[in-house]
């Protein structure tokens, strides 16, 4: 069976800035993979390009369950089963979570709301169903609601970009448990983050370290330990990778993801 997500030699640039430089990744169905990388390594760009955001020059190959992802338009990618979880889930006043889910299922030709009820129980979001989407939810509850929404839509690939950012440690644990609960033989989950502490609560099948626009090493729990103790510098040093001067530059949005956690 084809991998849920396969990426080969992905190169992405904006103008003369190379952001992804030959990224390879394979995520089989049923697995949870973590992509860990410092700010500016290209993690969000990877999500944007896979989900079909325009404005990038893209070369290389990406397939979703064997189908050519890069040639699909944005709607098609979602319909074919690629879903992106947001770092800052938006609030939708006036639209209840239940109505949003019913509409989304309706669009996919699924009728009846049994799946909504079942998944809401599993993710403990039943009491959010009649409230406006994400309205007055805490950071952790919003992320849990996002994961619930994904589980209802049954994607083939769920891309979670820094779903743990801005959360206190209890919320990180809660979100990790929700991600683990979404595990299924029919879904591949890609958890993308800067911080290694989520790996204390989540046990991905594989951890990939991303730097300067490519995956530089992949492994198991031993990589989480190396990151936790020595950070990205330890991995750079072990692999003999020089820091590229331009990777230290920051855009304003990076300041949000840089917020230190109260561990």
Beta strand residue intervals within 65-183, DSSP E? 67-68, 82-85, 92-96, 132-133, 157-161
Helices (H), 66-113: 74-79, 97-107
Rounded to the nearest whole angstrom, what is the least distance from the CB of residue 7 to ligand ADP in the complex? 15
The 198-237 site mask, x for binding ligand ADP (CB under 6 A), equals ----------------------------------------
Among 23, 32, 39, 176, binds ligand ADP (CB under 6 A): 39
Instruction: Answer yes or no: are the C-beta atoms of 261 and 229 closer than 8 Å.
Output: no
Give the Å distances, CA to CA, from 228 to 22, 135, 234.
Answer: 26, 34, 10
Work out the angle between the directed axes of helices 97-107 and 114-122 (0-180°, nearest 10): 130
17 binds, among ligand ADP, Mg ion, none (CB under 5 to 8 A by kind): ligand ADP
The Cα 206–Cα 204 span in angstroms is: 5
Q: CB nearer to ligand ADP: give 19 or 62.
A: 19
Rounded to the nearest whole angstrom, what is the least distance from the CB of residue 214 to ligand ADP in the complex? 12
Residue 44 interacts with Mg ion (CB under 5 A): yes or no: yes
The Cα 209–Cα 37 span in angstroms is: 6
Q: CB nearer to ligand ADP: give 39 or 134.
A: 39
Rounded to the nearest whole angstrom, what is the least distance from the CB of residue 43 to Mg ion in the complex? 5
204 binds, among ligand ADP, Mg ion, none (CB under 5 to 8 A by kind): none
Q: Write out the binding residues for ligand ADP, residues 9-38 only, by CB under 6 A.
A: 14, 17, 19, 37
The two most distant CA atoms of the chain are separated, in Å, by 56
Task: Look at strands 67-68 and 57-64 and give their pairing.
Answer: antiparallel
Residue 43 interacts with ligand ADP (CB under 6 A): yes or no: yes
List residues near ligand ADP by CB under 6 A: 14, 17, 19, 37, 39-45, 249, 251
């Amino acid at each position: 069976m084809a991998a849920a997500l396969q990426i080969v030699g992905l190169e992405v640039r904006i103008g003369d800035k190379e952001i992804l430089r030959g990224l390879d990744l394979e995520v089989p169905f049923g697995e949870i993979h973590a992509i860990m990388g410092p700010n500016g390594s290209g993690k969000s760009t990877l999500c944007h390009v896979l989900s079909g955001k325009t404005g990038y020059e893209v070369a290389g190959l990406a397939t979703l369950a064997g189908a050519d992802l890069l040639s699909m338009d944005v709607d098609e990618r979602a319909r074919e089963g690629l879903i992106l979880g947001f770092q800052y889930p938006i609030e939708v006043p006036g639209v209840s979570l239940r109505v949003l889910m019913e509409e989304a299922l309706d669009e996919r030709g699924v009728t009846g709301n049994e799946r909504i009820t079942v998944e809401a129980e599993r993710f403990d979001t039943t009491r959010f169903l009649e409230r406006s989407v994400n309205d007055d939810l805490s950071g952790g509850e919003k992320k849990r609601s996002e994961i619930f929404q994904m589980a209802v839509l049954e994607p083939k690939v769920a891309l979670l970009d820094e779903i743990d950012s801005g959360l206190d440690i209890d919320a990180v644990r809660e979100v990790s448990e929700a991600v683990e609960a979404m595990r299924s033989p029919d879904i591949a989950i890609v958890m993308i983050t800067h911080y290694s502490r989520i790996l204390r609560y989540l046990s991905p099948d594989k951890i990939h370290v991303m730097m300067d626009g490519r995956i530089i090493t992949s492994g198991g729990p031993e990589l989480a330990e190396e990151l936790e103790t020595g950070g990205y510098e330890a991995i750079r040093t072990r692999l003999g990778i020089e820091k590229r001067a331009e990777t230290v530059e920051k855009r304003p949005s990076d300041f949000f993801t840089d917020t230190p956690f109260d561990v």
